[in-house]
Amino acid sequence: MSVKALLTINFEEKVTLIQQEIFNEKLEDLQWIKIPELQTAWEVCFNDLISRDFALNTTKKDISLAAHKAKISSYNVAIQFGSEWPVRFTDKNKSP
């Protein structure tokens, strides 16, 4: 069974939009998929033979590589692993 990961990351306030773009490009190069409706959320699917520990170490390495390339030194991350893709939805309630 494959391991899916949901990643969300927040940068410190002094990180520029250019740095964020460089970070995003690097994660995309590493096969992460940006969730377009959310500003800092990503997902990826690891193959069937990957353990959760390997997926965690790979995720940490990928984040580190992207941050290094973008010259970002401080960030906060949350990662969730599971066998299913994350559920997404948009609620566009309009006032009458």
Query: 67 lies in which domain range?
Result: 12-82
- Is residue 31, in this structure, part of any structural domain at all? yes
- Is residue 76, in this structure, part of any structural domain at all? yes
pLDDT at 44: 96
pLDDT at 49: 84
- Is residue 58, in this structure, part of any structural domain at all? yes
- Is residue 89, in this structure, part of any structural domain at all? no
- Is residue 17, in this structure, part of any structural domain at all? yes
Q: Encoding tokens for residue 90?
A: 């948009």
The count of structural domains within the chain is 1
* Sign, CA torsion 76/13/18/90: positive
List, for residues 11-67, the tens digit of each pLDDT value. 988 999 999 999 999 999 999 999 988 889 999 999 888 888 999 999 999 999 999
- Is residue 52, in this structure, part of any structural domain at all? yes
pLDDT at 1 over 90: no
- Cα–Cα distance for residue pair 83/78, rounded to 1 Å: 17
List, for residues 71-88, the tens digit of each pLDDT value. 999 999 999 999 888 888
| Under 8 Å between Cβ of 29 and 21 | no
pLDDT at 9: 96
